[in-house]
Homo-oligomer: A and B are copies of this chain.
């Protein structure tokens, strides 16, 4: 039994970590911090958890939290982890960071994608990118984990097999659709229900910060420098991501070669499913099929008109795109059964 703390537990990602870790048989949640809600019951901020816990938010600093447990989950905004992790990393505690502050291997990517110089570049090499299916071996000996961005997760999972198999002959163009939970719990006019309902908002036509992570991982996998771009849209739902990625190829591939690429990489993975059903209602991955679960659903199509492979991925952004990958990575790091605490079935209907 390991003890864990969640720093920033009143946000949506923190709340999802709390929900899943409270039910995890191998860990005990000892600390859940919230500056805003310190002293309150956690079910005040997360009323879904009423009946599950009588825990309260603490006002511990990240360092205080770290001093009390075996593993700290940092569910704080980008730029905030970096203020605490360097000190915490000296304390013997293991760290699972949900922010972007340790996702890049190369410190030069920070000015490009986040606009600031990384103040602790040496630490970057000590973090493992928390994508279990691609970094399982490193995770086994990791002490520090940096959990991928949500859109990055769906994108990398769906394109990685093509990268590995050498299908990436040009720029990869990703179109991402995401629910509102991806933009956090801070109210604004843009997230006001009357404005947000029924809208299709292209909030990032270009320059999305997850592009950096995606290029990093696909370049590692393919062994060449991969160029990626993305347009990201908020759509009329709360949870879920669908990424539709255009992979341009010089020669039209055989469908079985693509299947082989996916099967080789993911054939034994417990949380990867292929949704390819030409006769059903759900012919390809759809957020509706994964919400509430730790699955990444994958599919693809071949576009003969322009020599393009369409790689499709879908996840619950708060689970496989955040808390689920974090816990799965922790399970590997700790030597637990990798599936522990994560085998929720998605609902038939949401």
Q: Which residues of A contact B (CB under 8 A)?
A: 12, 15-16, 19, 22-23, 44, 46-52, 171, 173, 175, 177, 179-181, 185-203, 205-207, 211, 227-229, 231, 233, 235-240, 242, 244, 246, 248, 270-271, 273, 275, 277, 280-289, 291-293, 295, 301-306, 308, 310, 312, 314, 318, 343-350
Contact of A229 among B238, B242, B306, B349 (CB under 8 A): B306
Oligomer: number of copies: 4
Contact B50 A275 (CB under 8 A): yes
Q: Considering the complex of A and B, which 5 residue pairs feature the smallest CB-CB distances, nearest first?
A: A206-B303, A205-B301, A175-B175, A193-B196, A205-B310
What residue of chain B has the Cβ atom nearest to residue A269's Cβ? B51
What is the bound-complex CA distance between A22 and B344, given in angstroms? 11
Contact A275 B47 (CB under 8 A): yes
Contact A349 B302 (CB under 8 A): no
What residue of chain B has the Cβ atom nearest to residue A270's Cβ? B51
What is the bound-complex CA distance between A239 and B205, given in angstroms? 22
Contact of A200 among B12, B286, B343 (CB under 8 A): B286
What residue of chain B has the Cβ atom nearest to residue A287's Cβ? B200
Complex A-B: 29 CB contacts under 8 Å: A15-B348, A46-B348, A47-B282, A47-B289, A48-B289, A48-B293, A50-B275, A171-B308, A175-B244, A179-B194, A180-B193, A185-B192, A186-B192, A189-B281, A195-B288, A197-B237, A198-B350, A206-B305, A207-B303, A207-B305, A229-B305, A231-B246, A231-B310, A235-B236, A236-B236, A236-B237, A291-B347, A292-B347, A344-B344
Q: A233 — which chain B residues lie within 8 A by C-beta? A: 177, 242, 244
Q: A49 — which chain B residues lie within 8 A by C-beta? A: 345
What residue of chain B has the Cβ atom nearest to residue A22's Cβ? B345
Instruction: Beyond the given A16-B348, A205-B244, A233-B242, please list 20 additional residue pairs across the A-B interface where CB-CB is below 8 A.
Output: A48-B345, A49-B345, A171-B248, A175-B244, A177-B233, A181-B349, A187-B187, A192-B192, A193-B193, A193-B238, A198-B237, A198-B240, A200-B288, A201-B283, A202-B242, A205-B301, A229-B305, A229-B308, A239-B349, A246-B246
A154 nearest CB across to chain B (Å):
12
Q: A350 — which chain B residues lie within 8 A by C-beta? A: 198, 238-239, 291, 350
Contact A235 B195 (CB under 8 A): no
Contact B200 A235 (CB under 8 A): yes
What residue of chain B has the Cβ atom nearest to residue A178's Cβ? B200
A221 nearest CB across to chain B (Å):
19
Q: A346 — which chain B residues lie within 8 A by C-beta? A: 48
What is the bound-complex CA distance between A238 and B236, given in angstroms? 11
With A233-B242, A289-B47 already in contact, the answer to whether A349 and B277 are too (CB < 8 A) is no
What is the bound-complex CA distance between A240 and B312, given in angstroms? 23
Determine which residue in A22, A48, A291, A343 has the highest number of CB atoms from chain B within 10 A of its CB, and name it: A48
With A275-B47, A349-B238 already in contact, the answer to whether A192 and B200 are too (CB < 8 A) is no
Q: A195 — which chain B residues lie within 8 A by C-beta? A: 185, 281, 288, 349
